[in-house]
Structure 1
């Protein structure tokens, strides 16, 4: 698998025959390079796309020179269309970081996998081409300076791939590494990879304990609150650290121990190297908090408790398995991909299916370019690139051209395939954000939601389906709404949008950033790029579907715009976190045009990645076509009034276009984590075509200088006046000069033949009186309205204990507190009736939601609602009456608060009135109030001595915070959940009209599912269908097939055994027939209930189909059935004859148990009785 190769000295020429390489794209966008043998060459010809990415001549003809912006854009797509794959997307490189390929090589080596010889040679060649021309080392990325991290890891990768230590490239790199002091100065990630390879000792790392995953999730330091890339790397890294995984020693590993260090390996004091990070690597230095934490964790590591360590390892391994299964073993990114691979290979071995799947998906990250084989930053950027070129072609006006149509149809088909249709299998358990309806960054197999990718994918689909007349409607409205639903869940409290999920952790977690080479890596952050993408995506969706969640979309948009205003830098720009120049979506404020990011002398823009590193704008040494296109698009979208900058930028981009219509690759385009650059080579096609196409419309359609234009220019001047002090003078001067020089000529149209009178206007059919309102039309131009809260201090009542603006606030206070106090008058009884857990959860819920302030009454009520209502109902059922004094006190307090802003005397008067009303209400017997409000009906009946047993029950629901009361008169519930049933039985004989309290039942497991329940509301003819499931006591172990009218013994709690001798079976096996069907003789039949008229209800199993089924109104597919089955309700009289029921049945509750085929395991299967 690995061995020394004969590596050429000159890396400028390919080490393999490049005419044998082919790129195959399959399975929804997977990109894998293959090296063909002689017999395969004739059946698989090389495409133009293959040749382009390999740096071979494409043999495409030269195109006629462009005469204007539109012809230049057309020439660009004429070339770019040849790079589109047959499945519809545009493949491409996503390289740049230099720490990825070593992880691929080291992980493959220690897992016992291998590479083809051609792959090894081209990876060595890539490393040789990317070595620094200054000192021969490697940096963090392809444009960075040499570091210990890059040099040590890439040196190791070259040696593992088969390059000799005496090769001139490695000799020079080793000299540079030794000048840095050797590999002991590598940052944390570098030391981890070297430890896995067994050329560094784990004692030399700061602790990576897996026990952090066992901490309570509400703690701010719990790993699930970290940024998704950080925590996904931390999981396998902590596992390997905890077990001290090391590759077996061999000659190559022993040799590397000598080559990487300046002192003998066995003499290094490893513990003292934990914080030894070379200054050339450090971007985020250790804080005192991090050093203190490392000391504490190091102390724990010396005395780790084995049971806790084993539990933590099991937890981490389960997370690794879930990540693999959620992503079809492709994982989120290459670092955790290879770490997961090492862990799974160590645990499951080389013969496992997981091993083979991981081995195959490695190649999804390997990309072959003109300089050799690299590792991409993910398994591609397929969706990201496709969405931009799709929008570019439509907005440029090329979409309707006959030659472009097939390409856009294929693009739409790929977008249809790429959308994530459902959440992954373990998205909750793996702490994933919802992804149903989203688009990923690469392909659907990766399965991760990204906010801006979802927005750009949605825009691309809307452009292609709604604006193009010839495209099929592949994505339904429901699927587009799913995308919007997903985006709406991703807005953060500050109004901005992050990348993969909501911001979960506090910003101070950055103080414990252990990576040393990256910034902003511990938690998610909100980004202007993601926010603007979502704003424009929602805006396009609202134009097509104006009625779907309109109010929520508008609210989200307003908050997002406010975030962008707050995030804008004083000089007018926004800090880029993913692409380090002006980002692609709309520049929302024109003052950005007068920021310090001015165009260069040649008319273009160029910014260095050092802007993100240093936090200030840093000019690139030359203009860049991609950044020039971004800036020019921003100016055009913002309707910048001066044409000269746009015209100069267009000329620059046109001058850089090659004869075949393409553009040459220039500086790296992207950035992440502030310090690492990454490539987006497809940007030089999509954004240049986009910009040139839109610039053509501007060039040949000059703006009309009319009164309307003067109004917009006035707004422009006001916008400039609000810019920063450094630029405001220039802005005002430019806007004023433009206004002075503009010539506003009178229109050529003739005057009206007759004067228009008021009567003519009033009689006109098009006259809209609403337009005369002073506020008419304000919503067309107003983004948001800022109110001065200080003005409210002058209102009446502002100086009182409860600030009030008048009667409206009094009404809010009064109704809110009256509801809270009157409905929850028994909340203080939580001490008497509730347990410690209820008290803790209720208090914690109050603190986490809104607090105890009066301004948060609603939040307070919502937080304590589950526990207060539970105790209130329990108190009612046990005591049988109201707490009169408590009700009167609650009424008095609420009445006083209601009029507290009016003065003392009105407050006392209101308190007296409310006290009297509460006392009167509380003295009414409880049973009379129930009879007045609800229509009684039987809740559940059991066959027990032929007496009706009515259950008066309280349902405590675990999730969400919803309570349900189950009495013999009402059932109130509003959500599907799991919970516990607190049962109180009330019984009566056939001659007794009202029963007395007999006993309190025990807690039973309860299932709730929105399926089937009939409740008649006396105030509304509408019925509500819900179902409640709980465990019924088992019936007698040997009942007769035809039940007799004589009383039967009470149910026993001992379950019967199955016929197969397996697990206990809570119901006996019977067989009944009915008019509506027959049951299988080998399947159980269960007695469910009996009613007051002596009818007995059975639930017969008809069949066990392979698929879920629907029977009547009981939708079995919505229940957790395993296996699914079909049942029928059989009603018999006391003689055993089948009774045909017409009309409404009392609703029934049942819970049966099924045996699996082996008879050894009980499958709990909740079922609801059905309505005939």
Structure 2
């Protein structure tokens, strides 16, 4: 398919390249090039998560009353089949593969199977029920699960945190307003505020009840702030205050002026409908799209409402046909991310900068630059337009991480004529947008500036553990990598502030927390990479401590690994089974410091070479991506491939250009 791969002249040649590493890179390049979309040149991998997505889809179909439609009935059957393939030996379901069973995921799976027609006496449901009881019972499930139960009359609304639509009325200068929530929380909560205000009740199928989960003596519901939220002891806490406010809001329902509720509902509806424009569904992510459908129905619109139909259509695009195993559901698509890293890995591993695959991918990325103002403009009123999102179309939400990765990729491709000019203009727009998005503490967050008010994490419906979007070490470091690419160093105030932020964030053992990848291996790689790219001396104590930590957690097989449970228990950092992606991250931390002839590097390279499959890729069964720490994790199915290729490519380039190991030239 790609004849140029058979032609040695299509690769940058150099002396001293280890033959095995070069051959491994060639195999990996072939595999990745074969996955490129023929029609337009982009890459997109399956993005996998837990079974809460399949469970929620079954719930949605039943809530819409469509379960008896033949086509929908078949989808429900196949979604349920997939859920059953993921059940663990103890009867429960995990939030990350090889992890312990978790109460909300387990309950949702159990209830979805009942809604799909399975009997409570089915042996698999009996095991699931026993697991639910072991994990603390139904009252331990999270707030959003209780919200969905209340829609069917299975949980009292009094036990569900209030999400009043009046939050839409707070002005942007007020301490509490919707833009102090993270972007993804806005997409989830604003539609739910509409639903909460209406509190509709959907018909429950005959087998959909859950009375068996309420053994004698179990209350039908518990107040907000009860068993699950565990309010702290003491005279005062913000959590206690919010719990009392929750009760007050519920007591005031139906008392306040009617026009205020009407006004707030109109604002919430208008926001939701406007944010469905220029987007593949609200925020282009599963929970926001599902909640949009619930909100449209709660407002009394018919099933053929265009926004309902659009969001349902986009949700069903997330389905992956697993044959006899059923239908798996993705949380969103990751084409910008996958394409940018694929371009970077191919270019770094020696594919010529003017190769047609890279040129086509670059054109595709340029076509998806965002040129309209999004939610970020509320807190960054003077920022220029520019940037890229994670998904195919999500114009209100360009993000810093994807934009930085695209900028790194754009500079690795050789272009000519108008396309080259378009690339340079887009690069400058993206760079200026990144610079404008720096937060006051010196770091960069994912979507917004200064979205860091800790108090929001104490709100009762904040148990998805992602109410805010504060700056993080991993994203800050990636921005530094971009700035180093264009010649920035510590003499620039923005860089100085970012370096200070990174060093404040470093853990006592030398590692860095990883917000968007698992976990300390991801954060540490990014931090070391960012610091060295803007000229920090690899002998700096912060960097040396990071490398010492990486050496201390290298596995006997030469690789590195870490599981998602480190977000709950940091003492387990770096202790998981080796994976190709995490091994590549650790290797790139060493390579970024110009370290080639080191036992840790040699062992890591050996791990990658010895675990590569004959077809050029690697196997990886662990989740190494993070959605919401402690709550929702991701398996990026190309992480196992393009990160090892990137590491092998970096090693090859550095052996060719050993005189410039510390500060790496990234311009082509």
Q: Secondary structure at the match of 1:325?
A: coil
Select the residue among 331, 335, 359 that pairs with 1:409. 359
C-alpha change, 1:285 and 1:74, in structure 2 (3 Å) is farther
Contact 1:435-1:447 within 8 A present in 2 as well = no
Aligned length: 620
Select the residue among 327, 331, 345 that pairs with 1:373. 327
Q: Secondary structure at the match of 1:448?
A: coil
Contact 1:490-1:502 within 8 A present in 2 as well = yes
Residues 242-279 of structure 1 show CA distances to partners (whole Å, capped at 9, x for unaligned) of 211221244244xx142443249xx9453x3433445x
Contact 2:115-2:205 within 8 A present in 1 as well = no
C-alpha change, 1:224 and 1:273, in structure 2 (3 Å) is same
C-alpha change, 1:163 and 1:88, in structure 2 (3 Å) is farther
Select the residue among 481, 484, 487 that pairs with 1:536. 481
Select the residue among 266, 269, 293 that pairs with 2:242. 293
Within 2, Cα distance between the matches of 1:284 and 1:332? 34
Within 2, Cα distance between the matches of 1:283 and 1:381? 36
Q: Secondary structure at the match of 2:413?
A: helix
User: Given the alignment of the two structures, is residue 526 of structure 1 paired with residue 497 of structure 2, yes or no?
Assistant: no
**Equivalent position of 2:539 in the other structure:** none
Q: What stretches of structure 2 of length at least 5 have no aligned partner?
A: 2-17, 532-542
**Equivalent position of 1:582 in the other structure:** 522
Give the CA deviation at 1:71.
Answer: 0.8
**Equivalent position of 1:122 in the other structure:** 78
**Equivalent position of 2:538 in the other structure:** none
Contact 1:181-1:262 within 8 A present in 2 as well = no
Q: Secondary structure at the match of 2:546?
A: helix
Contact 2:566-2:573 within 8 A present in 1 as well = yes
Within 1, Cα distance between the matches of 2:29 and 2:35? 10
Contact 2:384-2:432 within 8 A present in 1 as well = no
Residues 1025-1073 of structure 1 show CA distances to partners (whole Å, capped at 9, x for unaligned) of xxxxxxxxxxxxxxxxxxxxxxxxxxxxxxxxxxxxxxxxxxxxxxxxx
User: Given the alignment of the two structures, is residue 662 of structure 1 paired with residue 609 of structure 2, yes or no?
Assistant: no
Select the residue among 404, 410, 425 that pairs with 1:478. 425
Select the residue among 361, 366, 378 that pairs with 2:314. 361
User: Given the alignment of the two structures, is residue 95 of structure 1 paired with residue 48 of structure 2, yes or no?
Assistant: yes
**Equivalent position of 1:262 in the other structure:** 215
Residues 574-611 of structure 1 show CA distances to partners (whole Å, capped at 9, x for unaligned) of 11111112345415234311126531222211122222
TM-score, normalised to structure 1, is 0.49
Which is further off, 360-369 or 627-636? 360-369
Give the CA deviation at 1:691.
Answer: 1.1
Give the CA deviation at 1:615.
Answer: 3.4
Alignment map for 1:189-200 (pairs within 5 Å): 189-200=144-155
**Equivalent position of 1:175 in the other structure:** 130
**Equivalent position of 2:547 in the other structure:** 593
User: Given the alignment of the two structures, is residue 633 of structure 1 paired with residue 588 of structure 2, yes or no?
Assistant: yes
**Equivalent position of 1:723 in the other structure:** none
**Equivalent position of 2:638 in the other structure:** 682
Q: When you count helix as a share of all residues, which structure comes out higher?
A: 2
Alignment map for 1:944-1093 (pairs within 5 Å): none
Q: Secondary structure at the match of 1:679?
A: strand
Within 1, Cα distance between the matches of 2:225 and 2:560? 41
Q: What stretches of structure 1 of length at least 5 have no aligned partner?
A: 1-46, 48-65, 544-549, 713-779, 782-1172
Give the CA deviation at 1:431.
Answer: 10
C-alpha change, 1:688 and 1:74, in structure 2 (3 Å) is same
Within 1, Cα distance between the matches of 2:409 and 2:114? 45
Within 2, Cα distance between the matches of 1:657 and 1:284? 49
Alignment map for 1:186-585 (pairs within 5 Å): 186-253=141-208, 256-263=209-216, 268-270=219-221, 272-277=222-227, 288-304=237-253, 305=256, 306-347=258-299, 348-369=301-322, 372-378=326-332, 380-400=333-353, 405-423=355-373, 436-445=385-394, 447-465=396-414, 472-473=419-420, 475-512=422-459, 514-516=461-463, 518-519=464-465, 521-540=466-485, 542=486, 554-579=492-517, 580=519, 581-583=521-523, 585=526
Within 2, Cα distance between the matches of 1:684 and 1:307? 55
Residues 683-703 of structure 1 show CA distances to partners (whole Å, capped at 9, x for unaligned) of 111111111122234457766
Q: Secondary structure at the match of 2:561?
A: strand
Contact 1:182-1:262 within 8 A present in 2 as well = no
Within 2, Cα distance between the matches of 1:123 and 1:432? 44
Q: When you count strand as a share of all residues, which structure comes out higher?
A: 1
Give the CA deviation at 1:553.
Answer: 10
Within 1, Cα distance between the matches of 2:230 and 2:317? 30
**Equivalent position of 2:536 in the other structure:** none
Within 1, Cα distance between the matches of 2:414 and 2:348? 14
Within 1, Cα distance between the matches of 2:611 and 2:95? 30
Give the CA deviation at 1:453.
Answer: 0.6
Name which structure has the greater RCO, CA cutoff 8 Å, separation 6+.
Answer: 2
Give the CA deviation at 1:447.
Answer: 4.4
Give the CA deviation at 1:639.
Answer: 0.9
Within 1, Cα distance between the matches of 2:445 and 2:423? 27
Within 2, Cα distance between the matches of 1:646 and 1:528? 24
Alignment map for 1:818-897 (pairs within 5 Å): none
**Equivalent position of 1:110 in the other structure:** 63
Contact 2:96-2:564 within 8 A present in 1 as well = no
**Equivalent position of 1:77 in the other structure:** 29
Give the CA deviation at 1:334.
Answer: 1.1
Q: Secondary structure at the match of 1:620?
A: coil
Give the CA deviation at 1:381.
Answer: 1.1
Residues 862-882 of structure 1 show CA distances to partners (whole Å, capped at 9, x for unaligned) of xxxxxxxxxxxxxxxxxxxxx
Contact 1:438-1:483 within 8 A present in 2 as well = yes
Within 2, Cα distance between the matches of 1:285 and 1:238? 27
User: Given the alignment of the two structures, is residue 614 of structure 1 paired with residue 563 of structure 2, yes or no?
Assistant: no
Within 1, Cα distance between the matches of 2:271 and 2:574? 44
Within 2, Cα distance between the matches of 1:444 and 1:670? 21
C-alpha change, 1:291 and 1:132, in structure 2 (3 Å) is farther
Within 2, Cα distance between the matches of 1:666 and 1:73? 22
Residues 92-139 of structure 1 show CA distances to partners (whole Å, capped at 9, x for unaligned) of 122223433322322232234565555434322221122122x21123
Q: Secondary structure at the match of 2:641?
A: helix
Give the CA deviation at 1:390.
Answer: 0.7
Q: Secondary structure at the match of 2:575?
A: strand
Residues 343-395 of structure 1 show CA distances to partners (whole Å, capped at 9, x for unaligned) of 113332113222322221112333345864333232x1111111112111112
**Equivalent position of 1:694 in the other structure:** 650
Within 2, Cα distance between the matches of 1:578 and 1:349? 39
Q: Secondary structure at the match of 1:619?
A: coil
**Equivalent position of 2:14 in the other structure:** none
C-alpha change, 1:408 and 1:356, in structure 2 (3 Å) is same
Q: Secondary structure at the match of 1:692?
A: helix
Contact 1:573-1:595 within 8 A present in 2 as well = yes
Give the CA deviation at 1:644.
Answer: 2.2
Q: Secondary structure at the match of 1:677?
A: strand
Residues 832-875 of structure 1 show CA distances to partners (whole Å, capped at 9, x for unaligned) of xxxxxxxxxxxxxxxxxxxxxxxxxxxxxxxxxxxxxxxxxxxx
C-alpha change, 1:330 and 1:432, in structure 2 (3 Å) is farther
Give the CA deviation at 1:142.
Answer: 3.7
Give the CA deviation at 1:499.
Answer: 0.3
C-alpha change, 1:184 and 1:602, in structure 2 (3 Å) is closer
C-alpha change, 1:558 and 1:513, in structure 2 (3 Å) is farther
